[in-house]
Structure 1
Amino acid sequence: MKLLLYALSVLFYLQCAAQGLKFDNRPSKELDAVKPGQHRFDQSVLAIIQRDTIALENGTSESVTLTSGQTQQLSYSRQKLDNTIYAYATVCNQPIAIEGLTVSASDYSGLRLQFLGLSSADNDAKAEESNASVNKEFEYGIVQTSFNGTNDIQISVVAPSYDSSKWTGTWSLQILILELSTATNFALFYEQGGLYSLDTDFESGLLLSEVIPTNVTQPPYDLFVFDGSNLGINSLQMSYCAIKNANAQFTQADADVSLTGKLWGAKTRQLFFLKDLSAATEYQAYIVNSETYDTEIGTVFPGITFATKKDETCRLVYDLEFCSEVAYAVPSSSSALSRDALKEWYDNTTQSLFHGFNLTLQLMSCDVNEHVRYTIMRTCDNCRDSYKRWLCGTMIPRCTDTSVGGVGNDTSGTIFRPVNSSRNDLIITELAPDPYLELLPCAQTCYSVMQDCPSDLQFQCPINGKGLNESYSLIADSDLSVQYFQHRPTCNFLGGLQKNNAPDANKTNALTLVMFFLTTLILHQV
């Protein structure tokens, strides 16, 4: 037995010596007296206990976890010399504040990771600040970059050292490499487009996506809604996995989701009707697209902030059969009509008024030969569409809180409607709503009828300074854009909006009227 123990001891000694581990016969007190900057073990031993370098594979994301002050090395071996290598990194989780401790949005900036990238012929090289060709901080949870050349790729992800009295936890992230011969990479974050808030009431909200491709037949985006004060998710707002893995208050499952081509023009968009929201509450919402190269890394669109109304006077309606472009809160009945009954009442009332106009229009010369038509640039269909849009916008007023709760304190473009006061008497006699603020229709809605319909109809809009401001809100034509209406609008507009701000419409309209006149005059003389 003694002989066996001796043999095992010799083998253990030889194995340690082979790995560079040295035995020392000094007393323990002397061993403990290690000077600052020295290591108790040989450097070769320290290399053994460091984290191994992660080898990345093309098209497959890799999970990485980091603690405070830690660095993770990663490498990728190029497959072809002339390919471009795209690197995507997205933070899924980050340390959280100690329970009970209040932190600000600026405090989260101290948690940003650092991404270092190096394209080197030396496979033993490490990506460090001194030699990195790519040196980026993670912006709102993501880094996206590319490497050209013929060398393999070395990557380092560096975590900052945080104050343990303020923060706790680790970072987790996903890293994806795509080696492509053509520029068919995707974006982790789209800077434009995304999601828009159409309107809210005290318990629901209506959100609309950016235009989606015409060949898409199923809703492509997933929705995530968070409390408006969630600073953690706000600091990672460009990260797909952070949004997906966070504890969202509302998701796709809590909304009625559909595709529509009726709002903001004839192009298809995804519509979200959120229910069971809290009154007078602010939320932040994001949509993401998971249809990318990897299930763990997707595309995020810019988030929005929206708020519910305080009062129950306004009720959100949408998807009306006749007034299909109406998608906003309307004055509701004090007798608590259901949402569907309220929608049906407004739609039927407006359609019955349109019937008489349509009969009159059939007597006009707007669908005849262009030589005898009132203008060669318009037809009965143009007139009919403009009048319908005007009628829906005036017969179905847009309603908001008397305090403008949920959309700020700006009351531009609104008019106060006390009890027994409304745009039309039917709302007073049949709905009898409590006091509310009405967001006035855009004056352009009225002007379009004058421009598109025969003068024989004798349709006239009020003049600016002589009744216009009491019935309509006048804004520049260049403001009839998505960018304007995604914020606090100062008038209610039905119809298609421009992607970008339109040119000076005052000059354009004047020139158009002149061209109409001259062209019509010439044709009548021929």
Structure 2
Amino acid sequence: MSPGEWGRLPVWQSQEPNMEAQTPSTIQLNDSVVFTRTLSSGELHHFYFAAGGSSIHKRADPFQLVKRELPVYLTLTSCTQPTPPSNFQGVIPSLELFLSNSSDTTLPGPSRGMRVNDTHPGRIAWTSNANEIWIGVVAPTLNNNWSGNWTYEIAISTTQWMHPLFIPRGKDDKNTPWMTLDDTDSTNALFLTNPYTLSQAPNISVLLTSGVPKELSYSLCAAKPHQVPGYRTNITSTSRGPSEAQRQQVMVSNLNKDTSYTAYFLQQDGSRLGVGPPIPVQTKNDPNCQLIYNLEFCDQVAYSVPATGSDIWNITASYDAQAKALFQPFDRALSQFNCETTAYSLVRNCTDCYNDYKRWLCAVSIPRCTSPSLIDQMNHKPGPAVRRISGGEARNPWVDKQFEVNEWTEMLPCIDLCYRVVQSCPPFLQFFCPEGDLAWLQYGYWQTGTIETNKTLIDFNVNRPTCNRVGLNTSLLVISKASNPSLPSYVWPLVIGIVLFVVM
């Protein structure tokens, strides 16, 4: 039986909780209170919760009284788990949760009651309408070569999730907070949150961890003991992102070079602390990839760029100034078109043209620097679109002259940035995008999915992109999604120029 089927069970009989059906080993849970327990191999814990208590409400007939059904929100998060033998290579088994709504089954377990499946590793969640519930928590039976126990938190509430997990339910979900990774360099990581509408910014933080067991990766109580020491966070407000709404950006610094971490987005909501899904974070091994953000003109740029020197704000200002200078000829050309009175599209206007050209220009004049990896050299789909740069071969010659970076790897701009300029700008500007092999030399395609390399699963998504979108909403990357490229995602071009240009 699934959680959805539970809600279709017949209405329970009107009666007070059958306390005699409980055993001395059954623990009464209180509404909205987190309870912590330890469970050893093969052990079983039982709990009971009366959602409606002794409350009653009247039906149409004032003399007919029924017990009130209430929504209940049940969560169990595993905090620790046993340690397997040294030669163990499988997945450590998880705790199991069984439920019953019948006084005939007050000790649910593997042989009776409804099993609730894991929704995410380390966290079990269930919700429905109920007025009394019997709960069984079961630990798998292990052999003598294992050591340690499971510890877990269990909580039930009639008003809210006591272990909130922030995962948006689609692109139209405006209420669930979230955070994405912009980029890293060798010692820093930059994150961006969803927009907020309140006058005061939400109380957020980032938990940076290392070594959280994969079986417990969605459990906050499991992640906290694995917090890495010494990192610093700087939280500021920004309008950067797919919309001009206010967001928060988090700069995490003092990290180690070429190191893997896992980041968790945390947001305080009253007495509850909610957590987002785990975000893999990999710092770069190239110190000449340096993270820049808060640019005045190229305000959507928030990624690493090729640069030498330690004055990051001078590097930021230099890149921004040269992009702004390159933008001026286009700005003059667009000003010759009577945007106020001449319509050239039913869905686009000169403001769209201005913004899309600016985004494209920032992408090609401020290249995104990344670390080479084995994945880049393999014909994987999905996979990152990158090219290796030697001295004097940068897409923008100014980069070679200004910073003299000998060797670095560029993540190519998403081809959608080019097509949006063609779609958004007046025809008299005569923009066009490259096709075929030339497109593959200059642009990448936005791809999502999972690959396995060296027995490790790698997810390509908004936190690990395959091309540089420069803040463009992923829902607008339609050219990439509609394409089914047959060429490999890595290229080895020589010097290439900007194909999209203005014919004056």
Letter in 2 for 1:318: Y
Letter in 2 for 1:341: N
Q: Which residue of 1 aligns with 2:432?
A: 461
Asked if 2 retains the 8 angstrom alpha-carbon contact of 1:137 and 1:143, the reply is yes
Q: Map residues 336-485 of structure 1 onto 2, 5 A cutoff.
A: 336-367=309-340, 369-370=341-342, 373-375=343-345, 377-401=347-371, 403-404=372-373, 412-458=384-430, 460-465=431-436, 467-473=438-444, 485=461
Letter in 2 for 1:254: R
| 5+ long unaligned stretches in structure 1 | 1-49, 478-482, 508-526
Asked if 2 retains the 8 angstrom alpha-carbon contact of 1:330 and 1:396, the reply is yes
Asked if 1 retains the 8 angstrom alpha-carbon contact of 2:416 and 2:478, the reply is no
Provide the rounded CA distance (Å) in 2 between the counterparts of 1:492 and 1:276: 25
SS in 2 for 1:115: strand
Asked if 1 retains the 8 angstrom alpha-carbon contact of 2:91 and 2:215, the reply is no
Provide the rounded CA distance (Å) in 2 between the counterparts of 1:280 and 1:504: 30
Question: Are the structure 2 counterparts of residues 250 and 395 from structure 1 closer, same or farther at C-alpha, using a change threshold of 3 Å?
Answer: farther
**Equivalent pairs: percent with the same residue?**
24
Asked if 1 retains the 8 angstrom alpha-carbon contact of 2:284 and 2:370, the reply is yes
Provide the rounded CA distance (Å) in 2 between the counterparts of 1:487 and 1:136: 27
Q: Which residue of 1 aligns with 2:152?
A: 173
The answer to whether the aligner puts 1:208 opposite 2:178 as a matched pair is no
Provide the rounded CA distance (Å) in 2 between the counterparts of 1:385 and 1:378: 11
The answer to whether the aligner puts 1:157 opposite 2:128 as a matched pair is no
Asked if 1 retains the 8 angstrom alpha-carbon contact of 2:446 and 2:465, the reply is no
Letter in 2 for 1:395: S
Asked if 2 retains the 8 angstrom alpha-carbon contact of 1:66 and 1:172, the reply is yes
The answer to whether the aligner puts 1:217 opposite 2:196 as a matched pair is no
How many positions carry a matched residue from both structures? 427
Asked if 1 retains the 8 angstrom alpha-carbon contact of 2:413 and 2:443, the reply is yes
Question: Are the structure 2 counterparts of residues 290 and 408 from structure 1 closer, same or farther at C-alpha, using a change threshold of 3 Å?
Answer: farther
| 5+ long unaligned stretches in structure 2 | 1-22, 56-66, 170-177, 449-458, 484-504
Asked if 1 retains the 8 angstrom alpha-carbon contact of 2:187 and 2:253, the reply is yes
Q: Which residue of 1 aligns with 2:456?
A: none
Cα shift readout 1:124-180 (whole Å, capped 9, x = no counterpart):
943344442455568522222245455x33223233343453322x33322222235
Letter in 1 for 2:259: T
SS in 2 for 1:235: helix
Question: Are the structure 2 counterparts of residues 288 and 412 from structure 1 closer, same or farther at C-alpha, using a change threshold of 3 Å?
Answer: closer
Q: Which residue of 2 aligns with 1:90?
A: 76
Counterpart among 191, 199, 206 of residue 183 in structure 2: 199
SS in 2 for 1:320: coil
Asked if 2 retains the 8 angstrom alpha-carbon contact of 1:224 and 1:285, the reply is yes
Shift of 1:390: 1.8
Question: Are the structure 2 counterparts of residues 503 and 346 from structure 1 closer, same or farther at C-alpha, using a change threshold of 3 Å?
Answer: closer
Q: Which residue of 2 aligns with 1:326?
A: 301
Question: Are the structure 2 counterparts of residues 95 and 164 from structure 1 closer, same or farther at C-alpha, using a change threshold of 3 Å?
Answer: farther
Letter in 2 for 1:222: S
Counterpart among 26, 38, 47 of residue 53 in structure 1: 26
Letter in 1 for 2:244: A
Provide the rounded CA distance (Å) in 2 between the counterparts of 1:207 and 1:503: 26
Provide the rounded CA distance (Å) in 1 between the counterparts of 2:146 and 2:481: 55
Q: Which residue of 1 aligns with 2:125?
A: 144
SS in 1 for 2:101: strand
The structure whose Rg is larger is 1
Q: Which residue of 2 aligns with 1:263?
A: 241
Provide the rounded CA distance (Å) in 1 between the counterparts of 2:415 and 2:471: 13
Name the Cα RMSD after superposition: 3.6
Question: For structure 1, which segment, 82-91 or 341-350, has the greater mean C-alpha deviation from structure 2 after superposition?
Answer: 82-91
The answer to whether the aligner puts 1:108 opposite 2:87 as a matched pair is no
Q: Map residues 121-132 of structure 1 onto 2, 5 A cutoff.
A: 121=103, 125-132=106-113
The answer to whether the aligner puts 1:493 opposite 2:473 as a matched pair is no
Asked if 2 retains the 8 angstrom alpha-carbon contact of 1:240 and 1:300, the reply is yes
Between structures 1 and 2, the one with greater helix share: 1
Question: Are the structure 2 counterparts of residues 347 and 55 from structure 1 closer, same or farther at C-alpha, using a change threshold of 3 Å?
Answer: same
Provide the rounded CA distance (Å) in 1 between the counterparts of 2:310 and 2:115: 61
Question: Are the structure 2 counterparts of residues 375 and 221 from structure 1 closer, same or farther at C-alpha, using a change threshold of 3 Å?
Answer: same
